[in-house]
Amino acid sequence: MDLVKLTEEIVKSLVEDTDGVSVKEFPSEEENAILIQVMVNENDMGRVIGKSGRTANAIRTLVQASSALKDNKYVKIDIDKF
């Protein structure tokens, strides 16, 4: 599965406003890295970040594990609101 689609499916399963989720991949300055930006509705930020950032870290861990199985690139995920 594509890492961007995987990230989008995970985030959409957590939020109330699924239409307000935007997940995009951006070029990274590092050669062996992928930058994924997740934009969610302001009301859903707490659901995606979680208590002490646990949910966000779990999302990063799942996507990084998927990357290790495919192309073994470092995945950086930025979560922001709009």
Q: Does CATH number 3.30.110.40 belong to domain 3-81?
A: no
Express each pLDDT in 3-42 by its tens digit. Answer: 999 999 999 999 999 999 999 999 888 889 999 999 999 9
Region 69-74: what's the mean pLDDT? 88
Q: Parse the chain into domains and list their residue ranges.
A: 3-81
Instruction: Return mean pLDDT, the chain.
Output: 94
Tell me if residue 61 falls in helix, strand or coil: helix
Walk across the sheet containing 33-40 and list its strands.
22-26, 33-40, 74-81
Structure tokens at 49: 């970040």
Distance CA 62, CA 57 (A): 9
3-state DSSP helix/strand/coil percent for the chain, to nearest 5?
A: 50, 25, 25
Tell me if residue 44 falls in helix, strand or coil: helix
